[in-house]
Structure 1
Amino acid sequence: MQPTAYARRLLTVGAITATVFTGPAGPSPAAAPPSAPSPTAPSPTAPVAGASYGAYTRLLPLADLSARRLATADLVAAAKWGTGSPVDDPVREKQVLDTVARQAREAGADPGATVRISRDQIEANKRVQRALHSRWDADPSDAPVGRPDLAEVREEINRVNVDLVRAIAASPAARAAHSCGGTLTAAEAHVRHDRHLDRLHATALSHALRSVCVRRTETPIELR
């Protein structure tokens, strides 16, 4: 399968974006997924053991948007492969983190938590890029034929980041709850099933979500 086609499928199939939130008052109905989940997969309306339905609906968009952002890693990897452009781009990464911190303040979200989650999103994205580059180096016949426009891909990343900030702003109680870990695991499992993630992207998704739940011992990030 060409990675660009896989990425486009991930960007469009089963989308549950943070736009389900209209504000602190609560969520509005999300669009129904294109196919029904299997009996063993958690559905968006299923109760989650040890957590409220409200917490689940707050964390599900975060998990889904994280998978959508990961899909862009395939496109970034294809855009950079064979060009000599490194996976790491400290200048771009700083721009992204500075932007989400500003957006978090404007949205009433915790800038420190937003930056932590966004940094994990970036690192998960780079993990996918490195894995794909290694795969294509080992077997060039599996490499993408076309080269996506990196500027256009980054525009999509920026759009997803805006929705992620909104989802973070809408979920402080769910992220701070003692049941957050279990609730997030259920949301992640639903997204893995709904988007048919392969092992690479499923593993990266877990990395992207590792700072979603508030850690009791974490120290605030100093933002400059």
Structure 2
Amino acid sequence: MPLSSSVRRRSPRNVVVRRAVVTTVAAAALFAGAPGATAAPATQVATVAHSGSPQHTAPAATRPTARTGQYTALRPLAALSAERLATADLVAAAKWGTDSPIDDPAREQQVLDAVAQRARELGADPARTVAVFRDQIEANKIVQRGLHRAWTADPSRAPTTRPDLAEVREEINRINEGLVRALADSSAARTSPSCTPVLAVASAGVVRDAHLDPLHTVALARSVRSVCG
């Protein structure tokens, strides 16, 4: 049998195994609080994959259990966090080849001040909201750094156009509003003793459904580690 034919035959199996691995990584990192989350090596880094491959049925361990209400409350937090991480690809592209640093303390503080104020307006806990958004910001930077490493290692993968950073930040602000609202609406679920495992299941589902690569999977685990509590 030609090698190419053999590779093609094994590919669907490899895709399933890979997805199972990254889903497990996400859940394990969430259970452990992701204390040492770092970007994947540059050789593994890619932008968020949106392949047209068919959806696979979730294994029993990643299906919502009897805690359906809690899952329903927490799933939007994971989904919005993944959506926010997708903007990191655009931010990284906007900064690529410029003197703009990945760390931007002034912008970060603006975001934290804005979400704290919005949380107060919605009757949510501003301190918890700020903690979650600190994680969101750090997760975003994990993706940016990972992509810059990948593009440095292989310039052929680097972006050829530069997004308008102001427009990207408008999109981030929109997602921020959704996240603050989701935090305000999920207080009971987030303070439940079962929050961490249910959030892990919800996040693993997002990893699967959005076809997140290892870099974005690790960043997602980092982004939600202060949600429960």
TM-score w.r.t. length of structure 2: 0.75
Aligned counterpart in structure 1 of residue 86 of structure 2, from 52, 65, 71: 71
The residue identity in structure 1 corresponding to 2:196 is: G
C-alpha distance in structure 1 between counterparts of 2:161 and 2:61, whole Å: 36
C-alpha distance in structure 2 between counterparts of 1:137 and 1:117, whole Å: 30
Aligned residue pairs total: 183
C-alpha distance in structure 1 between counterparts of 2:48 and 2:197, whole Å: 28
Which is higher, the Rg of structure 1 or of structure 2? 2
Looking at both structures, which has the greater relative contact order when contacts are Cα pairs under 8 Å and sequence separation is at least 6?
Answer: 2
**Runs of 4+, deviation exceeding 4 Å:** 5-10
Unaligned 5+ segments in structure 2 are: 1-45
Kindly indicate which of the two structures has a greater share of residues assigned to helix.
2
Q: Is it true that 1:101 corresponds to 2:120 in the alignment? A: no
- Aligned match of 1:145: 160
The residue identity in structure 1 corresponding to 2:148 is: H
Map 1:32-111 to 2 at 5 A. Answer: 37-40=56-59, 47-48=64-65, 52-111=67-126
Deviation at 1:145, TM superposition (A): 1.2
Deviation at 1:6, TM superposition (A): 4.6
- Aligned match of 2:186: 171
Change (3 A) 1:41 1:148: farther
Contact 2:140 2:219 in 1 (8 A): yes
C-alpha distance in structure 1 between counterparts of 2:55 and 2:185, whole Å: 27
Aligned counterpart in structure 2 of residue 127 of structure 1, from 138, 142, 147: 142
Deviations along 1:58-94, one digit per CA (max 9) or x if unpaired, are: 0000000000000000000000000111000000000
Identity %: 61
- Aligned match of 1:187: 202
SS of equivalent to 1:73: helix
Deviation at 1:37, TM superposition (A): 5.0
Deviation at 1:42, TM superposition (A): 7.2
Contact 1:60 1:184 in 2 (8 A): yes
Deviation at 1:138, TM superposition (A): 1.4
Q: Is it true that 1:158 corresponds to 2:177 in the alignment? A: no
C-alpha RMSD over aligned residues:
2.1
Change (3 A) 1:126 1:39: closer
C-alpha distance in structure 2 between counterparts of 1:70 and 1:41, whole Å: 27
SS of equivalent to 1:63: helix
C-alpha distance in structure 1 between counterparts of 2:193 and 2:131, whole Å: 19
C-alpha distance in structure 2 between counterparts of 1:153 and 1:136, whole Å: 20
The residue identity in structure 2 corresponding to 1:197 is: L
Contact 2:136 2:223 in 1 (8 A): yes
Contact 2:49 2:211 in 1 (8 A): no
Contact 2:132 2:224 in 1 (8 A): yes
Map 1:207-222 to 2 at 5 A. Answer: 207-214=222-229
Greater displacement, 132-141 / 114-123: 132-141
TM-score w.r.t. length of structure 1: 0.77
The residue identity in structure 2 corresponding to 1:147 is: R
